[in-house]
Amino acid sequence: MDIHLKYNIGDTMWFMFNNRTTSGKIEDWTIEGNNGKCPTILYKIRHNSGYNSFYPGLLYTSKEKLLKSL
């Protein structure tokens, strides 16, 4: 199986956290739900409030792109 990641470890990403725009670096990734369904990648991101995991659709490469999506 080939895995193609949308983002790489070390990339700085923007996302919403506690109703605020926040940025953080990707530290790791995991695969979720590979029980006969299409697996989903979760990105583990380190930011001011600690670590959280996010689906790729919730991450943006710039604050401007995040704000445009709202």
Tens of pLDDT, residues 6-59: 899 999 999 999 999 999 999 999 988 766 667 788 999 998 878 999 999 999
Q: Is residue 5 part of a domain?
A: no
Looking at residue 40, what is its pLDDT? Answer: 84
pTM beyond 0.85, yes or no: no
Q: How many residues does the chain have?
A: 70
Owning domain of residue 28: 12-69
Six-digit token string for 5: 């990641």
Nearest to 23 by CA among 35, 32, 15: 15
Q: Is residue 35 part of a domain?
A: yes
Six-digit token string for 28: 């790791």
Q: How many domains does the chain have?
A: 1
CA distance 53 to 59: 10
CA distance 24 to 66: 13
